[in-house]
Structure 1
Amino acid sequence: MSNNTLENGIGFWQLISKNKIEIPIIQRDYAQGRNDDKTKIIRNGFLSSLIDTLENKKNLELDFVYGNVNEKILQPLDGQQRLTTLFLLHWYIYFKTDKSAESKNALLKFTYETRTSSREFCTELVENHDNLGEGKKISEKISDSNWFFLSWKKDPTIKAMLIMLDAIEEKLEVKSEDEMAVFFKDLTSENPPITFLFKELKDIGLTDDLYIKMNARGVPLTDFENFKARFEKHIDDNKWELEESNLLEKTSHKIDTSWTDLFWKHRGSDNLIDDEFIKFIAGIAIINYAKNKEFLENEKEFSEVKKILLEKNKNTTDEAVKTEIIERNIQRLFNNPNTVSPKDFPTKNAFEYLKNCLDIYSKNKNDETFPSDLELWDYCKKGTVDISSDTKTENNLFIEFVKNGETTYKQRILFFAQTVYLLNADTINQEFLSHWMRVIRNIAHNSTIDSASGFVGAVNLVNELSKGSLNIYEYLVQNKIESTFAKTETTEEILKSSIITNPINNKISIFLIEDTNFFKGKIKFALHCIDFENNQSAFDENKLNSLYTVINEHLNSDDISAKFRSAMFTVKNNDFYEYWRSWSYGTDTHKRCLIENTSDLKWNFTNGYYGDYLKELLLKLIDKSLDQIINEYSFPEQMPNWKRRLIKEPTLQEEYAQSRYFGISNDNKAFLFYNRKRPNTRKDCKKIE
């Protein structure tokens, strides 16, 4: 191709016969097929000019087309819209008449670099011209074809191409095959009726700046489009997918077909999938960093991190520096998923893991997976949610993973666990999936996972346990767990597994009490209440069920009742309030607490010395009500009157101790702290004597 302007003009067919035409990635989407009123008028006028030229043997020049030619690949800098329309016009007339292999090969040389979907659509359109589906319009026949991916309808370029093809058909459908054959012959001749002036810009790179300066119509690529383009290059550079690989299995194909179909269902209110797609990719990168501890080593980064650790008097071994780099990458992606880059997938192992995760959620509606009969509490609240402007579904962990807003580290652990199961299982067994997710839920909820380091520990534990994900209870009783993360919680899960597997029907009573708001997965205290301490003890299922009834009745809300507090005065040494000790300078009293709420009760009365206070009361409540316990209680002879009144008059707490705190004077009087934890004087209190 010459470096000079072709003053006599060149036809589309002449250009494509000599070069492959590739619309570069910096170009905007095909716009002449848009469906707004202004574009309709422009489109109709332009097509009318083209058809009139063919019908009346006229000549039409379409001004300049600028471009760069390198190794017989033409990338137009200006002229994309006209070239795409001419491609569609030539294809339609070819489709109606010629259909020769030579013409087909020429048309296959027109392609798009902007989106893989646009590129593949152009190829499939030419390859499958004789394999269309049903419909009245040409767009309907194409969309109904078995080779057409539904996700392609979301590609703005493909949508515009289909609209343009309908417009072309509308103007040419009255033409006979002979007339169309003449049109094609003229268009492919050495002196075509429709031409443009081509200007080759040799050795000029098509940068964003140059494009915007010359064309003034560029649109910036989104974070996801940038990532996609760089990621495909990253894959090619590392040769992670062989050229001879099946096209349908390649990332470049899936990212615009089956994976796009997955995220289209979860698109945002802007009807785009970019944010959801990029958050999923970043989320998988976070998991992979924690699981495999792989990253692209960089001497400068290594030195900088080592220096920082040294300044903080921390361990500076190579292993410590690597751990710090991993945790920094996790924290970066956690705070801002849009910073994800191909470098966050440094190895083929990391790349394959991402691909496997995308594949598994694209199949069999796995994105709707939710373990049946299992509460995930605030990590994934049950209920119908809007996932797009026109789609509702039951909430699940996939939605929580890709939604707009923060996905906590604990939610990520649960999603990782679910993903592990899906990757390990040939088919989903809802019972075993629920068992697996229950164990991970219990451990995650009762562990500290609020930082990158905690997340790494949790991922490694889940990864170790995943060997038994298809039957977790059998695995736990038969294998030694090496991970030291959440050792206490894991040990409890092993203990519960010994109950559940011998005999198996014990799991119902275990699950019931695990799911209570009070215990939320950690039931060691409940087992202590029924005197089951280890897997050699006798397990009393009936007693545990009775305890569950008590817990469900009295400790199911965020606060405990005044009567429950009054009853707590009746057990042991009648001094449960001593669990919290301080001094009130305003009232000159020994400050004590009547238990702030249910959470306070759980954390202070299920461990240590005061655990037996709560145990005694709960066991009493199996056979008696709070009223019976209070009314039947006999006061010890030395019990002060204020304590007797608080037992027999629970309403005193409700009226005068909304703060749940009170003070005991040196002369053994009680001062209830109304609704302030720190009263200024005794006048701010209710004196009980």
Structure 2
Amino acid sequence: MKTMETNSILQLLKTHKVVIPPIQRDYAQGRTTGKTPKVRERFLNAVYEVLANDNLPIMELDFIYGYTENDVVNETEKISVFKPLDGQQRLTTLFLLHWYFANIEKARNNEFNLEEIKKLLLKFSYATRHSSSSFCQNLIEFQPVFNGKTIDEQIVNQPWFFSNWKNNPTIASMLVVLKDISILFKDMNNVWSKLSGDTSRIVFHLLPMNDLGLPDDLYIKMNARGKELTDFEHFKSQFTEILSPDQAKEFVEKIDKEWSDLFWNIFKNKESSDIAKEVDNGFSAFFWYITELIIARKKIVVNETYWLDIIKRVYQESSDNVKFLFDAINLFENLEKKEPNYFDDLFYINVEDFSLSKTRLFFNSPQTNLFRKCAEAYGFGERKNQFSVGEQLLLYAFIFMKLETDIVNPLKFRKLRNIFASSEFQLRNEFLSTFLYEDVEYLILHDEFSPDSKLSKRQFEEERSKKQFVENHPELLEYVYKLEDHTLLRGNIALFDFNENLSIYAEQFLKIFVPGCNYFEISKALLTIGDYTQNIGKFKRFGNNNNSTWRELFTQSENRDGFQNTKDVIKQYLTIFIDDKNKTPKNLIQDYLSRYNSDYQIEKGLIFYYIKYPSFSKWNENQTDGYYWWYDLALKPYECWMLFKTQFNGRHWSPFLLELSSINENCNLENYGNELKFVFENYIIFISNKDNGFEFKGIDEESINFIDSLRDLSVLNSDSIYEIKQNEQGLDLVDRVKEMDKLLNELVTLNKKTVN
């Protein structure tokens, strides 16, 4: 066989037997999932066009690689066998097309020599599975009827078709493709003459690897074990076709050179079994980031869902969009080569790397190099997007500054970070096209926020106030930036007063709220000063051990009431430690509880119980999300529920009952708002927490009688409630948890004495 021949499949079969070797995967063009149906549709439509219109150029299916060897037929005869390593999918589809057209030609022209064509087609076989080979042989001998019944239905009803063949991926794919062929080409006439002879309308370039002098194992390595072209190779081929000649030339020259090196350097040290694929995916990720950025920024209406249709919509008729794409890639190709640490001069991650010229990033799995993060994490196709909207916007800000002004202003990144951190609800993909990208450009060009922006107006005002403040107090700039870069504040420092004392309070805040600090202890210590919690409707939120909860409490919001209380308590708390360097949160808690020990008549609100008892902030040593809920906080402050998360369809308890269940061995409490189950001897009593005490209920006669006796003894009131002593305002004057635990223990002890 000569190097690189142009052939039709019939010409190939006249000189060679074609065997799909065992190293190949199954025939896949008939799959019904993923992108395959669209690929199949495009290919068959292209075949239809070239067969229907003789004025179109012939269809060239690129290179088909493989190697040849001689197969001994007998002592005097040998036959050349071609084994494709790349092109199996295309050859198989051509085989099916020719089988179909030969049979329909016979049905329309009885003089057509079908037997001669069968002899050629029988030289095509699969060595991947015996069932695949057997199916091909039987298919060739089968002659369908063209009476409206689909080909695949006829085939599966043949006596030679085994039902378990439907589980063979190759056979299943062939049936799907045959069905699509029969539907698409059923009305097409005079086709066979366009496929046979020396002037076939569908050809390919055959490249025998033997002629290159390469060993078989290298063929396999070169062709990824015989797999078809990768998605990225298809992308490169298709994208090139929609570009202008000059742009196509630049793309072809750079995609396998400078641009390939750019992404190779990102992934070369990664642990991966296929670095080349990682590199391809990295380019694709950045390509789709820019493409979707253009769609959003230019408000391009895209109704298409197939990737090729989308990029045609964006790039085919807009050289400006192509230029922006190329400029963006070239920008980072030059920077990575000449200034590899360019992002490190703008951003930092760890608190110890603070610098006035840098902005701290708080994204999930943050990286200072946003370009590299984009290549590694931006989602395209079926890949999940782990490159957040905030990161997308900051990366665009960098690109816009470099391409439009060539001046990168670090302060603008700080302002953007601050605004984005306070506008998390607005940082959504659907808002990219409506205002987010425009807001970024407006800030860069005008050093001001767009008056039409839908981002946090409150944060806009804070940014203006801080700007004025540091202009008047430049010596406090470092404290402002350090507070902004604190993980609990993230740009919003409304928790502090902007005055000359800012440095004192900032230093103390930075000392107390450090990684690993005991938030539960801090929460209780704060409550000794005042109620720092915030209200969301009937919910009240306490701090827990999560940064996100405290950050929420330290950030003013229209959705919550009580921020000023939080601010006042925090200021008093910081003042205590500023005035007394030896004071600790534990001291504050101990001093608070000791006041109740010395004067037990002091009224005891929920805060007292929250500080004293662990079950008011934890369940089985597991922290909650910090939410409490009341039916009526003003009139019934003790009738509350502690939620494990944020909804009542999850675990929730009366914290008073939860604490009793943890300290009294005769008590048990389920997790969904249940009553406390108190069991001793033969009695089963259910107890619920009421605003004025604890209500007793029995479900069996013996327990009911016992409760009646407690009413008779005036232990319980007429409503079967064990009343807690309260003042005129309805606040406890005794510790209801302690009192109730004492009563339950006395009932058990009294019953034992009575029995004895």
Structure scoring higher RCO (CA < 8 A, sep ≥ 6) equals 1
What's the TM-score once normalised by structure 2's chain length? Answer: 0.46
Q: Which has the larger radius of gyration?
A: 2
